[in-house]
Each structure stands twice: as C-alpha cells, then as structure tokens.
Amino acid sequence: MLEVLWIDEQVVAVRKPGGVPSQGDQTGDPDVLSLLRSQLNDGGLQLVHRLDRPVSGVMLFARTLEAARTLNDGFQKRTISKTYWAIVQGSYKAGVLLRHTITHDPQRHKARAGGDTDDRDVSLAVNLLGRGDRYSLLEVVPHGGAFHQIRVQLSLSGHPIKGDVKYGARRGEKDRTIALHARSITFLHPVSGAATSVIAEPPSGGIWAALQQAGSR
C-alpha cells in the first residue's frame, strides 16, 4: 500500500517507492498511478508530473479536472517548487550553485553536456547536509526543468548519484534504484490558493541515516 502524505477532495500526495514506475510502461510492472487509483477507489485520478522509475519521494495527483488543469499549469510555469535529497559519490566540494548547458539525447534516453541546437541552460542549487568517507548527502533544488537535470548536473560536477550507472556511478544498486529522493513539493492549492507543502521521508536506515547523523554532528 502506498503511503498517503496529504489528501483532500482535489489533490492527493503520496510517497513513491524507488523502483516503481510513475505510470504504466512497457514492462507491465505495477505503477504508482494504477496502485493509487485502486487504493483510493478513484478511477479519475490524474497524473500531473512524474518521477524517474529509480527515484523515490513525494508525488502529486489531481482528483478533479480543475485540479489537474491548475497543477499542470503550475508545473509548466514552474510556480511549483521541488526539493530533492541525493547521495553522491565522493566528498562534495563542487560549490553551492552548479550551472551547465545540457541537451536531451532521446536515442540514448539520457541527458548530456550541450552542443546541439536544443541546448538548455540550467542551474542546480546545492546544500551539503552530511559527509562520510566515500559519499555525501546533498539537498538540491533544480532550476530549468530539463530532462534528467539533477542526475546529469551532479555527474558533470564529478559527483554522480549513488547507484546511477547511467550517469557514471561505479556500481548499481541491487534493487535498481538510485539514491535520489524527492524530499518536498510546494504548490498553490487549486481551490483555496493557499501555499501547501508536502514532505516525504527518505529511505530509512543504512547510508541515508548514517549521512543524516553525520550532518547533525
């Protein structure tokens, strides 16, 4: 059962597990949208944004057409803000603001450093939360909304995300997840207009807990 973080008649927010697709795909594996429709007995539930399959964290869904229109507009205009946590390789020292020009390579289904006509200038605000011997825990806020932006920018900085072999990690995770977590999302409620924030706890235990503890010392 999916963990429901926030719900009313217009919007529902859940914690997406890593490794589960946001919506149905060619694998036929259970997906968050279908699971949540069944869990809430709400066949009209609408997907308004996605997280990559290996990524965990907070996701929003619309329960009415009005909410879907408003939230889709918020994502398109980037008035909805998102914060992520990431565990990256190495002792992070790349800076508090990363700037890159990147492009989407659809044939390889990945992003890379720019060089084509559809280049996008993007930035990533970075805050170091904890540091261990081999890995660092970061809080990151993307600006630009490009495909795989966080994954490619951290890789280009010399600190790929743990488990993200597509972008240079030394090895993958056994469960095929990566250490990227959508920590929070803030949006204007479709009806009341009130600023609403939802937080999703990161994966429990292991290196996530160890790096959080290291940052608190």
**Domain residue ranges in the chain:** 3-216
* Pair 11, 4: CB distance under 8 Å: no
> 75-117: per-residue pLDDT in tens?
999 999 999 999 999 999 888 999 999 998 888 889 998 766 5
CATH architecture of 3-216: 2-Layer Sandwich (3.30)
Q: How far apart are CA 96 and CA 161, in angstroms?
A: 17
Residue 95's closest CA among 67, 59, 127, 48? Answer: 127
Does the pLDDT at position 217 exceed 90?
no
What is the CB neighbour count within 10 angstroms for residue 170? 10
Sign of the dihedral defined by the CA atoms of residues 157, 163, 167, 168, in that order: positive
pTM of the model: 0.95
Q: How far apart are CA 24 and CA 12, in angstroms?
A: 19
Residue 200's closest CA among 1, 2, 19, 36? Answer: 2
> 14-62: per-residue pLDDT in tens?
999 999 999 999 899 999 999 999 999 999 999 999 999 999 999 999 9
Mean predicted lDDT score pLDDT of the chain: 94
